[in-house]
Structure 1
Amino acid sequence: MASFERIVDEGVLIGLSAVRMAVKNHIIVGALREHRDFADADYPAAARCELVRLATQNEEDAERVGRQRKVLGRQRSAFEITDDDRLHVRQLALRRRVHLKLAGALRAVAADDEQVADLLERARTDASEEIGAALAARLVEQVVDRREPDYAQRRAERVRALVSTDLAALMSNRRAGLDSGR
Structure 2
Amino acid sequence: QEQIRNAMALGADRGIHVECESFPESLQVAKLLAKLVELEQPGLVIIGKQAIDSDNNQTGQMLAALTGMPQGTFASEVVVEGEHALVTREVDGGLQTLKLTLPAVVSTDLRLNEPRYAKLPDIMKAKRKPLDVKTADELGVDLTPRVTTLKVTPPPTREAGIKVNSVEELLSKLRDEAKVI
Question: Which TM-score band (shorter chain)?
Answer: under 0.3
* Greater Cα radius of gyration, structure 1 or 2: 1
Give the structure with the larger strand fraction. Answer: 2
> How high is the TM-score relative to the length of structure 1?
0.19
> How high is the TM-score relative to the length of structure 2?
0.19
